[in-house]
Amino acid sequence: MNADTRQRIVMTAMELFWEKGFQSTSIADILSRTQAHSGSLYHFFPGKQDVLAAVLEAYRDGIEEWLLKPAWSGVDDPIERIFALLAGYRTQLVTTGCTYGCPIGSLALELHEPDLRIRELLAVNFAQWTSAIERCLDAAGARLPVTLDRRRLAEFTLTVMEGAIMQARTYRDIASFDRNIAVLREHFDMLIETAKGERVPA
């Protein structure tokens, strides 16, 4: 199987879904940018939904290589790694004039009646992201309170990131994003302060 055309279609669709969303992207859009023809697309995919599924699978399989690795190069401290990842999304916002944010989050809110398959792929992408944060929190060890529910805080970090992107896009203002991340940082600082108190028992 010549996977070249298939991969080009997936990459192009990934770009377009990010720029214009799923519904606003037509098959013709994908084809013209890929310089392929409709028959080729339908040779590899039963329909448009399946192209979306392939895009979400590509995100799922590429998170380590394309998201975490670049954001974490030169950053060793586990807590700073969390904020380095958030800074990556910040850069994405800035370079697009606060237009495009997290592709998964946009799709999650755009698709009102997604397939079970699509919804599970969205969930897996979120879950992978959350797990990456959770690993950082685990690596922070005793700097965070021992009683802290690390999975929950990881979830919360994703929540803040997605909400912050939504507002930055709406206001077309990165300052909104920064203020939200600053509050999250203060939350972490308070937790670290609490942990300090724990480590010196009476």
The CB-of-102 to DNA minimum distance in angstroms stands at 22
Distance CA 139, CA 105 (A): 26
Distance CA 109, CA 57 (A): 18
The answer to whether 129 contacts a second copy (rule: CB under 8 A) is no
69 is in the binding site of which of a second copy, DNA, none (Cβ under 5 to 8 A by kind)? none
From 8, 48, 119, 143, residue interacting with a second copy (rule: CB under 8 A): 119
H helical segments located in 77-173: 78-95, 103-110, 116-139, 150-171
The answer to whether 25 contacts DNA (rule: CB under 7 A) is yes
Contact pattern from residue 40 through residue 79 relative to a second copy, giving x for each residue in contact according to CB under 8 A and a dash for the rest: ----------------------------------------
- Taking the mean position of all CA atoms in its chain, how far away is CA 146? 28
Token pair belonging to 118: 């699509």
The CB-of-11 to a second copy minimum distance in angstroms stands at 19
Contact pattern from residue 61 through residue 100 relative to DNA, giving x for each residue in contact according to CB under 7 A and a dash for the rest: ----------------------------------------
- Give the chain's length: 202
From 11, 27, 108, 174, residue interacting with DNA (rule: CB under 7 A): 27
The interface with a second copy within residues 180-199 (CB under 8 A) comprises 180, 182-184, 187, 190, 194
Look at the block and give the residue holding tokens 């803040």: 160
- Taking the mean position of all CA atoms in its chain, how far away is CA 62? 11
The answer to whether 48 contacts DNA (rule: CB under 7 A) is yes
From 11, 19, 21, 40, residue interacting with DNA (rule: CB under 7 A): 40
Cβ-contact 169, 101 below 8 angstroms = yes
Contacts 24+ apart (CB under 8 A), 172-178: 172/97, 172/98, 172/99, 173/98, 174/90, 174/93, 174/94, 174/98, 177/90, 177/93, 177/98, 178/90
Question: Which chain residues interact with a second copy by CB under 8 A?
Answer: 19-21, 23-24, 99-100, 105-106, 108-110, 112-113, 119, 122-123, 126, 152-153, 155-156, 158-164, 166-167, 169-172, 176, 179-180, 182-184, 187, 190, 194
